């Protein structure tokens, strides 16, 4: 490993040391805990259920392992072992350029914390980040792919680095129509996206709980909308916090491609299921993408040297 205070964007990264936290599961309402552990080159992101026995307790963070997308992203394996609400942690790992980590989970869900990715970014920074002696492999989008289902639209198209454009349109005076475009470089995720919290509607709470969802949801871990009002005493962190959180979810869901994406994501009224579908659509067309490697040299995140194609 190469330990350096300067992020080396051409290299893979892992954590310098182990670090953990505990909290409430948003949907189960149970107390759950996680331990983030350094991992070797090319390990990727692996979830390990420590409350389960045997090798079947491991689940790789890949879109092919998505088993549910209702209100959160749930991963599972062939043995029926699942881990839910992974998207905020995955977004933090993506935003902090972490390629390799073992996430030990005691419980069936990642803790919701405050409903954003900021607590996970804090954990990662406290653990420290180290560059590893191997180049990052990224997924370069070569041509546009689209998915449209029931008036919801998503696309991936070629672009410099990774950027996200997102538009939401809710029949709610408190939310309405919001849109944002952001290029995720030079700390943009931490500074502009990571603090945006998940949100829900007060009138839907009873129905969700009858479905076994949102059992751990409170005003401490979600923005709750009732008509034209925000019920949280502190209000919103941003005027457009809702679309920022949708971008946060998107960053986490797209990291299930198994590597960083070089291209532009555009979404209209997208959610977890649509985010997963665009990754599947990209992989389904071998002419639409290729693996590339970043150069080994140290470089600032705001710019990137040309990338070279690999098999």
CB 16 within 8 A of CB 211: no
Task: Report whether pLDDT(98) > 80.
Answer: yes
Give me the residue label for tokens 């963070």.
Answer: 61
Tell me the pLDDT band of 92, cut-offs 50, 70 and 90: very high
Q: Domains (ranges, CATH) in the chain?
A: 11-136 (3.30.230.20)
Which CA distances in Å does 167 have to 91, 152, 230? 19, 10, 20
Segment 83-102 mean pLDDT: 98
Q: What is the DSSP string of 190-229?
A: IIIITTPPPEEEGGGHHHHHHTT-STT--TTTSEEEETTE
Task: Report whether pLDDT(87) > 50.
Answer: yes
What pLDDT shows up at residue 305?
A: 34
Task: Report whether pLDDT(183) > 90.
Answer: yes
CB 37 within 8 A of CB 43: no
Three-class SS of residue 300? coil
Q: What is the pLDDT of residues 255-302, one digit of tens each?
A: 999 999 999 999 999 999 999 999 999 999 999 999 999 755 433 333
Q: Between these two residues, 299 and 100, which has the higher pLDDT value?
A: 100
Task: Report whether pLDDT(202) > 80.
Answer: yes
272 noted as active-site residue: yes
Q: Which among 13, 27, 88, 272 is annotated as catalytic?
A: 272
What pLDDT shows up at residue 8?
A: 59
What pLDDT shows up at residue 125?
A: 98
Closest CA relative to residue 86, chosen from 65, 111, 113, 123: 111
């Amino acid at each position: 490993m190469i330990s350096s205070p300067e992020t080396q964007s051409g290299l893979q990264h892992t954590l310098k040391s182990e670090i953990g936290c505990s909290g409430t599961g948003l949907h189960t309402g149970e107390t759950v805990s996680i331990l983030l552990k350094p991992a070797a080159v090319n390990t990727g992101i692996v979830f390990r259920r420590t409350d389960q026995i045997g090798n079947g307790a491991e689940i790789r963070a890949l879109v092919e392992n998505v088993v549910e997308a209702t209100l959160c992203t749930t991963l599972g394996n062939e043995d029926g072992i699942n881990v839910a609400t992974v998207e905020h942690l995955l977004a933090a790992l993506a935003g902090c350029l972490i390629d390799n980590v073992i996430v030990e989970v005691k419980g069936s869900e990642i803790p919701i914390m405050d409903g954003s990715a900021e607590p996970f970014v804090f954990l990662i920074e406290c653990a420290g980040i180290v560059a590893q002696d191997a180049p990052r492999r990224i997924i370069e989008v070569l041509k546009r792919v689209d998915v449209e289902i029931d008036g919801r639209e998503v696309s991936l198209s070629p672009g410099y680095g990774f950027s996200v454009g997102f538009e939401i349109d809710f029949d709610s005076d408190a939310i309405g129509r919001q849109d944002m475009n952001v290029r995720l470089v030079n700390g943009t995720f931490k500074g502009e996206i990571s603090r945006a919290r998940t949100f829900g509607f007060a009138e839907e709470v009873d129905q969700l709980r009858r479905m076994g969802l949102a059992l751990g949801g409170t005003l401490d871990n979600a923005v709750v909308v009732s008509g034209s009002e925000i019920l949280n005493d502190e209000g919103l962190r941003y005027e457009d916090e809702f679309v920022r959180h949708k971008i946060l979810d998107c960053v986490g869901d797209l990291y299930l491609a198994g590597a960083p994406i070089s291209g532009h994501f555009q979404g209209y009224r997208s959610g977890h299921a649509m985010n997963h579908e665009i990754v599947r659509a990209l992989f389904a067309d071998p002419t639409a993408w290729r693996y590339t490697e970043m150069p080994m040299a140290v470089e600032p995140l705001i710019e990137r040297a040309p990338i070279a194609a690999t098999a």
